[in-house]
Amino acid sequence: MASKGTCKADGCEKEVIGKGYCSRHYKLWREGKLPKARYKTCRTEGCKKKQTDKGHCADHQKKKAEAAAAAS
């Protein structure tokens, strides 16, 4: 089987398994923990969950809606 090359993460020389990353960096990419994430992440600082159409993850969007309802 032909090699797919080396990992595109800075300083990593391991063999590529998917999307240009080695197994370790591919897992981090899938989890949204690399600078170029798999998907857009929540706008709430420190949150790496997938963003909904309103810019926050489902959990933070729900908290935001609850806070707005409590304020009214």
Cβ–Cβ < 8 Å for 49, 56 = no
Give start and end residues of each alpha helix (H) in the chain. 23-30, 58-71
Domain boundaries, the chain: 1-38, 41-72
Distance from C-alpha of 18 to C-alpha of 20, rounded to nearest angstrom: 5
pTM of the model: 0.54
pLDDT, one tens digit for every residue, the chain (72 residues): 557 899 999 999 999 998 899 999 999 888 778 877 677 888 888 887 888 878 899 999 999 889 989 987
Query: Looking at the DSSP assignment, which residues form a beta bridge with residue 41?
Result: 50
